[in-house]
Structure 1
Amino acid sequence: MTRITIIAASAAAALLVAGCSGGNADADGNGEVSMKEAADKARDEMPRPQPGLYKTTVTMTGLEIPGMPPEMAGHGAGLTTTSEHCLTQAEVDKGFGELVKRGQDGECSYERFDVAGGKLDAVMVCNAQGRAARMEMTGTTTATGADLEAEMAMEFDGAGKGTMRFTAKHERIGECPPAK
């Protein structure tokens, strides 16, 4: 996966850690959702996540690249990346600002960040290595996990704009291992 794909997937996973509920985050009505607005909305309306060990599984479900030969249809579908992250009580206590920004290196922002009743509808735009990607995300979340579907439009080297679709499952799998 390219760096921008990894950043976007990491940002989506970090968003899932937060769990979601409660309405549009564009507090100032300017049509853009800043990281501060997303973090404030999360703080005010989302249940705090439970500390613990979380597993995130991202599975590619589709890939369309201009000029891709027909025999490559379905290429990459099923490719799965799994990671684990320990969410400590100290991180939970810092609030949602860090959770919403995690994995983005300041390279992503939101066009939309709507949350209501445990359902998420968001559009995130990331820029890395001179390329932009726009990711639409929908899904459901709780304080201990989330399921997300996403479609990302991005520029592929030498091929033009393409689309990548993936699912992400984020689940609390236990307590954090003891510090070494």
Structure 2
Amino acid sequence: MPDRQRADARRNYARILAVAEAEVAAHGAGASLEQIARTAEVGSATVRRHFPTRRALLEAVSRERIEALAARAHDLTGRDDSRDALLEWLGEVVAYCVSARGLAAALAYDGVEPDPVHENSCSAALEEAAGPLLRRAARDGAVATGVTVSDLITLAVGIVLATEHHPDPAARADRLFRLAVAGLSPRG
């Protein structure tokens, strides 16, 4: 009987995750957990057992995207121009967050002290993957001392969340990202 329960739990998880992906794509990070449960034909308690927090659900929905962004950071690490490589990756984070509803919320820091239960695994994965990009850019003098990957992710998330209701969120987010990179003052 325990093997059957595990198989049922795995099927429920897969069904809930598939429904959650569709709901988050349609409604963003605020997708209704109750609607997810109804559509997946499971109880709300089952959804909460698999995903005890909204963040856990968003992280699961975003896992493949995070893995792709992490792989991209690894690909760019060996590039000749470390500044361009870092900015290309960060621009892709912004663009990906604009196109993948819920991803920015999954990356957002929610003020909870990091611990094994509340750690933001999406941001942690990107911080680890982009660390070599940033360290190389800092070593080359292309990034100010003290800038962290966490700072860069927070900047990207802020831009995406600030533009998500704009008529053309991708163009607006890209403009704000470029403005943040260039700075406010013209070069003299």
TM over 0.5: no
Between structures 1 and 2, the one with greater strand share: 1
Task: Answer with 1 or 2: which has the greater Rg.
Answer: 2
- What TM-score, normalized to structure 1? 0.24
- What TM-score, normalized to structure 2? 0.24
Between structures 1 and 2, the one with greater helix share: 2
